[in-house]
């Protein structure tokens, strides 16, 4: 899965390339939102791993 940030028109222009790289790609909005989304995903995954260890 790819997180794609930036102008939507530009992201749509490179859709064939993104399809060749990964099965799924998500447009997350403006530049910088990809970093925020990745941080949020990593925090949730870290919490899941901590809960698994506790179990």
- Expressed in angstroms, the distance from the first to the final Cα of the chain is 29
Give pLDDT, residue 47: 93
Give pLDDT, residue 54: 85
Cβ neighbours around 25 below 10 Å, total: 17
The pLDDT tens digits for 1-55 are 899 999 999 999 999 999 999 999 999 999 999 899 999 999 999 999 999 998 7
As given in the structure block, the two tokens for residue 9 are 């028109």
CA 27, 34, 40, 55 torsion-angle sign = positive
Region label for 32, one of left (φ > 0), alpha (ψ between -120 and 50) or beta (otherwise): left
Give pLDDT, residue 55: 79
- Does the predicted model carry a pTM greater than 0.75? no
Give pLDDT, residue 25: 92
Strand intervals (E) in the chain = 2-5, 25-29
């Amino acid at each position: 899965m790819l997180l794609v940030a930036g102008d939507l028109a530009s992201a749509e222009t490179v859709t064939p390339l993104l399809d060749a790289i990964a099965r799924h790609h998500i447009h997350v909005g403006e530049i910088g939102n990809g970093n925020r989304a990745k941080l949020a995903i990593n925090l949730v995954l870290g919490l899941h791993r901590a809960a698994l260890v506790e179990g």
